[in-house]
Structure 1
Amino acid sequence: MLSLVTLRPSTSPKLSPSPPPLAASLSSHSHTLLSLSSSRRRHRRRFRGGTLIVRNIDAAQPYDYESKIAAINNSYSKLKIGIIGFGNYGQFLAKTMVAQGHTVLAHSRSDYSRSASKLGVSFFSDPHDLCESHPDVILLCTSILSTEPVLKSLPLQRLKRSTLFVDVLSVKEFPRSLFLQILPPDFDILCTHPMFGPESGKHGWGGLPFVYDKVRIGNCESRIKRCDDFLDVFRREGCRVEEMTCAEHDRHAAGSQFITHFVGRVLEKLDLENTPINTRGYESLLNLVDNTSKDSFELFYGLFLYNKNAMEQLERLDLAFELVKQQLFGHLHGLLRQQLFGCTEMVDRVAKKKEIKLISDVSQNAASQNGSASTAPQSSANSERN
């Protein structure tokens, strides 16, 4: 006989059979389509009546903004640029050079390896290692006062014989003579002055002045092109590029840059403050103080010490200051005499001079008339004798 077993309901949870892989994929796909459809409906409701513009960033399509910039950068030759002195100004220039696709190396006395890494720059704590990388260009971004010792400390023998040396100092005759004195004759020399900095150029370099002097560039076509490729760094950013001799630059800079820094530092000593009734002229003075005070005294002193025209401009400024003071005090003196004596001494002097001049003119006319009258009888007497 067969034993009958009592069937009882199971107490274990019922597990629904898992769907086959294809069904799961279809279910997930339909869920994704539903979510995308609802998202599109939401976007339609949100942008109803307007135009939704999508800029493709990652794909290199003809309408891709990044691909256009990359195409422009690829049309220019790439340089390997070694920056000596990687402070604020060196980093400021390196940022643009890296963005243009150039390979940038850097060396400085201080450790800027972290800052260099963020900018995509290879930092070398030892100048020998940088020079052994054979950069096409050595760009000196040191201070004016430290340029000579830094240049003398570089292992020039580890560089290529035709390396291009460039400076960006605010004075030009000093680095020119220094380069010609220290560098081997095979090295090319380009003296430049980007007349802007991290503050004035933070929103772009368009329209900002850039001065250069090709002191010594070899006749080889490749060396001429290398120099032009470096100048293209600034042309591409829209700088107002102008070729000028170092002597001419220093002559102009003494009357503009040095005087600007001097006046800004003088005004800084006055502790000028904002007022509720600032005029535009006063705002300009405050901006001048703000701009010049951000530069180091070392830069200001270098502008004075290494530009032979600076002393002449300082003397002219001192003379102009005294002339304006004399003009003010002269008018004040005349006003006080008018209040004390009822008339100005200047008016009395002018009236006296007019009287003397009138008497002198009358006497001269009388003398000339007497002379002509005395010669007339003599001429008639001579005619009678004849």
Structure 2
Amino acid sequence: MVEMSCEDHDRYAASSQFITHTVGRILKESMLESTPINTKGYESLLGLVENTAMDSFDLYYGLFMFNKNSLEMLEKLDLAFEDLRKQLIAWLHRVVRNQLIENGERLHQLDGSNSHALHRRAPNESALLHSSFASNNSSQSDENTKLKIAIVGFGNFGQFLAKTIVSQGHEVLAYSRSDYSDVARKLGVLYFSDVDDLCEQHPGVILLCTSIISTVKVLKSLPFQRLKRSTLFVDVLSVKEFPRNLFLQHLPHDFDVLCTHPMFGPESGKNGWKNLPFVYDKVRIGNEESRILRCYRFLDIFASEGCRMVEMSCAEHDRHAAGSQFVTHTTGRFLEKLRLKTTPINTKGYETLLSLVKNTGRDSFDLYYSLFLYNLNAMEQLERFDLAFESLKKQLFNRLHSIYRKQLFENEQ
């Protein structure tokens, strides 16, 4: 039971009720669909759409028309989304501008001579393995089932994965630009400050846990000649076609390639990985039994923790992720600009939005920008979101126009 003045109620309701219904209707207009790789945040948005869709437009129009605070909130929503879009465009402009300047300087240095091709042709891929995922055979010896995994990029996410990998008995090595030797020692990980020394340990798996922006630079800096020719390369980036093409372009043809996306992190996975989605694509795995088994053993790290294992192509992942991931982060980030606060009359839908803002706010803008830049489907989703918002505003203002016009005619009569 909450006692408050009618004025206070309407002021709070402009946030907890009108904003919730507005976001729900924008997302409905965006035609969101459930995907095989829904995140918890995306599930909450789908629930919000379902709940607000049950109410008539008349109810939503009433929240807008008869609460004097609602128009201000609609304007703030509009400005917040426009500000977020400007941020994305500004970052994109800066990146493209820097590339043009660098390319211009490179061409100038060539001084008219024939340059090497800017893009190497991707090597032919081995046939994809279509066998279903299977856990390791329990009769195999412990020695044969354990992997030597080198984690390149030992930041928060690398450490998060290392903790579970070590607990399963695998040998873990690590390398990073920053000094994480103390953290590695506590986790039971052998830390290297020199990547050459790391590679000379001949790990069977190289697990890249770098940021998407630094992936190209890190991959090119690795001394491939110090690794075994059958080494398995694995990434854990939030987009998949970009690392897939990068691996096929730059890695020696003998190396195996497995693209993965654990759709959870230190926060969402802190209480275990059970039922959390893990997406993977066996891009290029050699035909030898030992290489096939190594791939399965790596995947079993996640399967044995209860992850929901989802095999799909990198292209299919990015198409689904543009909805389930990019839309979720976009919604959270433009709501963050409103600096929403809890109210004494929070609805369940508003609680969902506050939680979404909190979770997406933990991630850097670099991550969000990467979801936009490196997923070719993201721009389409951004445009659909924009069109949905414009359509909703048009519906509201058309209703206002028709009511006022009707009143004018009645007064004349």
Q: Do they superpose with TM above 0.5? A: yes
Superimposed CA distance per residue, residues 322-373 of structure 1 (whole angstroms, 9 cap, x where no aligned partner):
00000111111122223333289xxxxxxxxxxxxxxxxxxxxxxxxxxxxx
Query: Which residue number corresponds to residue 217 of structure 2?
Result: 149
Query: Which residue number corresponds to residue 85 of structure 1?
Result: 153
Query: Which residue number corresponds to residue 311 of structure 2?
Result: 243
Query: Which residue number corresponds to residue 358 of structure 2?
Result: 290
- Distance verdict in 2 for CA 1:256–1:225, change over 3 Å: same
Query: Which residue number corresponds to residue 54 of structure 1?
Result: none
Query: Which residue number corresponds to residue 74 of structure 2?
Result: none
Q: Which amino acid aligns with 1:265?
A: R
Classify the secondary structure of the residue corresponding to 2:150.
strand
Q: Which amino acid aligns with 1:168?
A: V
After the TM superposition, which residues 35-74 of structure 1 pair with which residues of structure 2 at under 5 Å, given as runs? 74=142
Query: Which residue number corresponds to residue 303 of structure 1?
Result: 371
Gaps of 5+ in 1: 1-70, 345-386
Classify the secondary structure of the residue corresponding to 2:145.
coil
**Which of these residues, 179, 190, 209, is aligned with residue 122 of structure 1?**
190
Q: Which amino acid aligns with 1:92?
A: F
Distance 2:140 2:181 in 1: 29
Q: Which amino acid aligns with 2:184?
A: A
Superimposed CA distance per residue, residues 276-304 of structure 1 (whole angstroms, 9 cap, x where no aligned partner):
11111111001100110101111111111
Q: Which amino acid aligns with 1:113?
A: S
Residues 73 and 100, structure 1, Cα contact 8 Å, conserved in 2: no
Q: Which amino acid aligns with 1:301?
A: Y
Q: What's the offset of the Cα at 1:190?
A: 0.1
CA RMSD of aligned residues (A): 1.8
**Which of these residues, 168, 177, 182, is aligned with residue 100 of structure 1?**
168
**Which of these residues, 260, 263, 272, is aligned with residue 192 of structure 1?**
260
Distance 1:108 1:280 in 2: 42
Query: Which residue number corresponds to residue 109 of structure 1?
Result: 177
Superimposed CA distance per residue, residues 43-98 of structure 1 (whole angstroms, 9 cap, x where no aligned partner):
xxxxxxxxxxxxxxxxxxxxxxxxxxxx9995981100000000000000000000
Residues 254 and 307, structure 1, Cα contact 8 Å, conserved in 2: yes
After the TM superposition, which residues 1-386 of structure 1 pair with which residues of structure 2 at under 5 Å, given as runs? 74=142, 77-342=145-410
Query: Which residue number corresponds to residue 51 of structure 2?
Result: none
- Distance verdict in 2 for CA 1:285–1:117, change over 3 Å: same
Superimposed CA distance per residue, residues 119-176 of structure 1 (whole angstroms, 9 cap, x where no aligned partner):
1111101000110011110000000100000000011110111000000000000000
Distance 1:342 1:281 in 2: 39
Q: What's the offset of the Cα at 1:116?
A: 0.6
- Distance verdict in 2 for CA 1:207–1:325, change over 3 Å: same
- Distance verdict in 2 for CA 1:185–1:75, change over 3 Å: closer
Superimposed CA distance per residue, residues 14-46 of structure 1 (whole angstroms, 9 cap, x where no aligned partner):
xxxxxxxxxxxxxxxxxxxxxxxxxxxxxxxxx
The number of aligned residues is 274
Distance 2:140 2:267 in 1: 27
Classify the secondary structure of the residue corresponding to 2:203.
coil
Q: Which amino acid aligns with 1:246?
A: C
Residues 268 and 293, structure 1, Cα contact 8 Å, conserved in 2: yes
Classify the secondary structure of the residue corresponding to 2:268.
coil
Distance 1:316 1:72 in 2: 52
Q: Which amino acid aligns with 1:308?
A: L
Classify the secondary structure of the residue corresponding to 1:342.
helix
Gaps of 5+ in 2: 1-138
Q: Which amino acid aligns with 2:296?
A: D
- Distance verdict in 2 for CA 1:72–1:94, change over 3 Å: farther
> Equivalent pairs: percent with the same residue?
73
Q: What's the offset of the Cα at 1:110?
A: 0.2
Classify the secondary structure of the residue corresponding to 1:144.
coil
Q: Which amino acid aligns with 1:215?
A: V
Q: What's the offset of the Cα at 1:222?
A: 0.2
Q: Which amino acid aligns with 2:371?
A: L
- Distance verdict in 2 for CA 1:75–1:256, change over 3 Å: same
Distance 2:185 2:283 in 1: 33
Q: Which aligned runs of 4 or more in structure 1 are off by greater than 6 angstroms?
A: none
Q: What's the offset of the Cα at 1:219?
A: 0.2
State the TM-score, normalized to the length of structure 2: 0.65
Q: Which amino acid aligns with 2:171?
A: T
